[in-house]
Amino acid sequence: MKIAVLQFPGSNCDLDAFHLFATGLGLPTRFVWHKETRLGEADLVVVPGGFSYGDYLRCGAIARFSPVMGAVRDHAEKGGVILGICNGFQILCEAGLLPGALIRNSSLEFRCVTCDLAVEDAGPAFNTRSLGRRIRLPIAHGEGNYRIDAAGRESLETNHQVLLRYVDNPNGSQGSIAGVRNEEGNVFGMMPHPDRAFERFHPSRDGIAVARAVLSLRFPEILKMSA
């Protein structure tokens, strides 16, 4: 299992994501700079959080045009697994790899709290069997208010594409949606940070279970690994 963590100008959670997979799971993990046009060998591509390019226009709107995103699209089209966290989720939505969009929080405030999340049964890789019905992960964002049109929302619900829902909606997201997957089931995006919930001093260690659930799409045996 080989992990590639993308780096954009302004990324500030790339080290967190690297640490989750390299230290938390002990997997071969490396960084890929945004100007690269190839990913190299990668079973999972992680698009981390952290204000790519400063997000002066709109979160993820500039990063979607980085050269590496062409390789990310190819990876997705070939069935490769992708996980976008926070700003990474925003980038994947802007790039059209995930449905919907993220706008300013309904409070118009930056929210930095640990959230209780309800786990949805979103296919063989991400479900209540692998994660349990509730997990706790932190959020840290100003634009995490998930929006989608009526037809898109119906498709998400019908196809079981919702990954997580906020128990106490902190940002006004439609349907309390905290994360979604694509229809094919190999691209995942979420606003909460599993990369900030796996050390003993973190608010929870549920991030390890989330990382395993995503990887289990290609490597089911990872669910049996000890913490």
Number of domains in the chain: 1
Q: Along the 227 residues of the chain, how does pLDDT read in single tens digits?
A: 899 999 998 788 999 999 999 999 999 999 999 999 999 999 999 999 876 666 666 666 677 778 999 999 999 999 999 999 999 999 999 999 999 999 999 998 999 999 999 999 999 999 999 999 999 999 999 899 999 999 999 999 999 999 999 999 999 999 999 999 999 999 999 999 999 999 999 999 999 999 999 999 999 888 877 55
Q: How far apart are CA 102 and CA 86, in angstroms?
A: 10
Residues in the chain: 227
pLDDT at 106: 92
User: Residue 201: what residue type?
Assistant: F
Which pair of tokens denotes residue 216?
A: 């289990």
pLDDT at 131: 95
Which pair of tokens denotes residue 55?
A: 């997000």
pLDDT at 58: 66
Per the CB < 8 A criterion, the answer to whether 164 and 119 are in contact is yes
Q: How far apart are CA 10 and CA 51, in angstroms?
A: 6
CA gyration radius for the chain?
Answer: 16
pLDDT at 223: 81
Q: How far apart are CA 188 and CA 213, in angstroms?
A: 11
User: Residue 224: what residue type?
Assistant: K
Q: What is the distance in angstroms between the CA of the first residue and the CA of the last residue of the chain?
A: 17
Residue 53: alpha-carbon gap to chain centroid? 19
Enclosing domain of residue 143: 3-224
pLDDT at 24: 95
The CATH number of the domain where 50 resides is what? 3.40.50.880
